[in-house]
Structure 1
């Protein structure tokens, strides 16, 4: 689930927090970094389990309504298309989801079932829901299309849900869009087959976790040394006026040049330019690109930043 850009962003945020706190407790902030990555998995599992909870709550409501003494004709003979949605039923059957929720002790919806009720209300008030119930076509493809639109148009942008989760997860504002985009992508690729869906692991490869931790350590243990790589080579910029975020991004990029020989220089530069565009000042990407480009072109650094592997520079 977490790609290298996500990991670089997590490292950036952790370094920034450590510097702002004026702490030298590397072990403490390594734990902070690991926790921030784990939070993304928790949010992912919670959002996936929301589908299950929504379907289950609606099914319970239907059963209670049937037994009412003065039940309406619609309550006695309800439209069951939503609770019989094949995609929602498949998600409810995923043992991996149940196991990982249990392992992480994620009982959030049990303690905040009002959030599920908000979502159900928003879903049932939508034209999307009404059109789906009235559509006589029943197929896996139609069920999947509905679930995808329900998530994209109703669940993910729900303001009440956002505010509730923000109170419980400090990184929610940054992580929520990333997780939702990932889930939407999963739902779109699920069209390849009803049995193609599997929950994503937190790391695509265990090497990714090691990469994040090693990058964090290399930057913090060599912070002043990394800064010296460019502080005398930026005559047009006063070091004291360079934004802290830009200094961290430069140090991270140079750490990759020096200590991660398998990562191509172009990949490193492009990654940090994209992060700068989104998380730093408007001109940061131009500044960072100028500094890094100048560094990699010097004869001395062409040797020092040498990469190993076919086609790496």
Structure 2
């Protein structure tokens, strides 16, 4: 695969994360729709019981979910970008069945009265206690787009934040959905960081080699080397990013993608790299980047 092809996939993974964001919102509305269909089917039974004819409709009337489902931007994005869960209806049914068994759902359904905040809390609990831990939904999303493998947790946190900020006064025209990235600024950042880390890789590996005297470079994991390479590129080419921010970010990344001991190893190497780069005047910070 060429650098151009890898770069194309990188940009695709960034832009497609927004689709995952809307898939989660669609899932919430689909769970509500499934609940409505069950109630409607029960009402229309030939031998419908009193309970069937007088169901608790609090969930299917949830105003927060209705605000999402009826929002103009949501409907436009879903239709324009072909966001769909048609092939995942088994997941929708499974999540609904799990939802009605939860304590938080039953507490919500049986409260004498509820406020808008109660309706909102139910949706927040659905996100954090149900959707976020459901392996079937995560797998279904990964099968739809392999780029979502690493986006799931972050996107769910942004969905949660979006709902938490919702207000009762929102109309169908209110734009309350969050942009996951700044198209021009973030893509430019990703492009520059990607290209600089590739072009300077040989030089960066030589720097790393200086501070891994007790390690042969080929014994250090490829992911460890890659993370340090990208970190060095950010240190050198992004003057507005403070050194500490770069170090903290890449150490956190290593905790997710490397071995348990990698974060302390990478931290030790990068601390020495920073000293060397400053001595060579290769770290030049301005504005916010001067913050320690």
Fold match, TM over 0.5? Answer: yes
- 8 Å CA contact 1:257–1:265 kept in 2: the answer is yes
Cα deviations across residues 211-242 of structure 1 (Å, max 9, x unaligned)?
A: 01211111112221222233234323221211
State the match for 2:7 in structure 1.
30
How far off its partner does 1:184 sit?
Answer: 2.4
Give the one of 238, 249, 254 matched to 2:227: 249
**Aligned residue number for residue 276 of structure 1:** 254
CA distance in 2, matches of 1:90, 1:240: 55
Question: 1:244 deviation in Å?
Answer: 0.9
Q: Report the TM-score when normalising by structure 2.
A: 0.89
> Paired residue for 2:104?
128
Q: Please tell me whether the aligned partners of residues 44 and 179 of structure 1 are also in contact (alpha carbons under 8 angstroms).
A: yes
Deviation of 1:180 (Å) = 1.9
Rounded Cα–Cα distance in structure 2 between residues aligned with 1:163 and 1:241: 33
Count of residue pairs brought into register by the alignment: 288
Which sections of structure 2, spanning at least 5 residues, go unmatched? none
Structure 2 match to 1:294: 272
Q: Give distance in 2, aligned partners of 1:285 and 1:162.
A: 27
Give the CA deviation at 1:197. 7.3
Aligned partners of 2:130, 2:209: CA distance in 1, in Å?
49
Which deviations, in whole Å up to 9, do the C-alpha atoms of 1:189-225 show, x marking residues without a partner? 44x6653871111304631121012111111122212
Q: Distance in 2 between matches of 1:157 and 1:219?
A: 35
CA distance in 2, matches of 1:205, 1:34: 10
Alignment of 1:92 with 2:79, yes or no, is: no
Residue 33 of structure 1: how far off its partner (Å): 0.5
1:267 aligned to which of 245, 258, 264: 245
Mapped to 2, the partners of 1:78 and 1:46 lie a distance apart of 29
Indicate conservation of the 8 Å contact 2:7/2:191, yes or no. Answer: yes
Q: 1:39 to 1:129 in 2, by over 3 A?
A: same
Q: How big is the alpha-carbon RMSD for the aligned residues of Structure 1 and Structure 2?
A: 2.3
Q: SS where residue 130 of structure 1 aligns?
A: helix
Structure 1 alignment gaps of length 5 or more: 1-22
**Whole-Å separation in 1 of the counterparts to 2:13 and 2:33:** 30
TM superposition score normalised by structure 1: 0.83
For residues 186 and 217 of structure 2, what CA distance do their matches in structure 1 show? 32
Counterpart contact for 1:264–1:312, Cα < 8 Å: yes
- Asked if the contact 2:247/2:270 (under 8 Å) is kept, the reply is yes
- 2:215 alignment partner, SS class: coil
